[in-house]
Amino acid sequence: MTHRPYTPWLFLAPGLAICLLFVIFPFLNMIVLAFTDASALGGGQFTGVDNFVRMAQDPKFWAAARNSGLYLVGVVPPLVLLPLLIAMLVQKVVPGIGIFRTAFFTPVIASTVVVGLIWTWLLDSRGLVNNVVEALGGSRIGFLTDSTLLLVSSMVVTVWRGLGYYMVIYLAALANVPKDLHEAAMVDGAGPVRRFWSVTVPSIRPTMVLVAALSAVNGFRVFSEIYLLSGGSGGPGGASTTLVMLIQLTGRGLTGEVGYASALSIVLFVILLGLLLVTLKLNRREDQL
């Protein structure tokens, strides 16, 4: 015997306690609460599927689910393509390349709050971006005051912050693309565009799928960007609210409707789990390659 029977449990105790108390238990509790009319003050009667019936008839839920879905659709294509182009730009070692790589990663380091505040200021009705728009002869745009534009602005911020992160993932993948493939294609007279589509893209396709899945999960979870760009309101009349923000608004505070918020959480969980399982599966497959 190399150890006493209880020794492993002493090693596991802190981690296991945290995960059981603050992940597994709240998760199970959420499922129970979703079938009650519990409020933040406590209590709660079993109400069957009432919360889900209410959800189906709640225009706020559908608007939030649509916004989160749109967000996913809006951020995934640019986050799959743009970081790849940037990775190809920094892949070749030229003088000063380290400085560029480091600089491109900086937005990832800054918190979403810092990033959100910086862009709120940039996109202000009298901010830097509108100054440029005016200088180019256009009129000021209400990036943060129109509910659709707010959503688009928020996507731009998410994409901007994700560029450096996915660039690093792509850099690792590009390093594994065999050089002779490129050379062979060059000998055959393929131009840079042709080589990109016929050599680069097929060799790193698994990574592109992984980036798509990762950015989809993160896109659907969006909260901070919308919260900050709208000053906590979720846009004019709350029209730009996303699912996570709706849960936060529904469940928080003394008037919080915990039961209904839990039902919303279950919907969020099911969608995210689906996306996450796809991601894990793809990640595993990529590891084997």
Residue 174 in contact with other proteins, rule: CB under 8 A: no
Residue 9 in contact with other proteins, rule: CB under 8 A: yes
Distance from C-alpha of 14 to C-alpha of 35, rounded to nearest angstrom: 32
Q: How far is the CB of 140 from other proteins (least distance, A)?
A: 11
Contacting residue, 71, 155, 164, 241, with other proteins by CB under 8 A:
164
Contacting residue, 43, 65, 160, 209, with other proteins by CB under 8 A:
160
Residue 238 in contact with other proteins, rule: CB under 8 A: no
Asked whether the beta carbons of 212 and 80 are under 8 A apart, the reply is yes
Residue 46 in contact with other proteins, rule: CB under 8 A: no
Contacting residue, 35, 61, 71, 104, with other proteins by CB under 8 A:
104
Q: How far is the CB of 147 from other proteins (least distance, A)?
A: 19
Contact pattern for other proteins over residues 185 through 224, marking x by CB under 8 A: -------------------------x---x--xx--x-xx
CB-wise, 53 or 273, nearer to other proteins? 273
Count of residues that interact with other proteins, criterion CB under 8 A: 92
Residue 241 in contact with other proteins, rule: CB under 8 A: no
Contacting residue, 75, 165, 234, 240, with other proteins by CB under 8 A:
165
Q: Which residue has the tokens 């256009």?
A: 138
Q: Which two tokens stand for residue 12?
A: 């596991």
Contacting residue, 112, 133, 182, 203, with other proteins by CB under 8 A:
112
Contacting residue, 89, 201, 205, 281, with other proteins by CB under 8 A:
89
Q: Which two tokens stand for residue 97?
A: 């390349």
Q: How far is the CB of 3 from other proteins (least distance, A)?
A: 4
CB-wise, 74 or 162, nearer to other proteins? 162
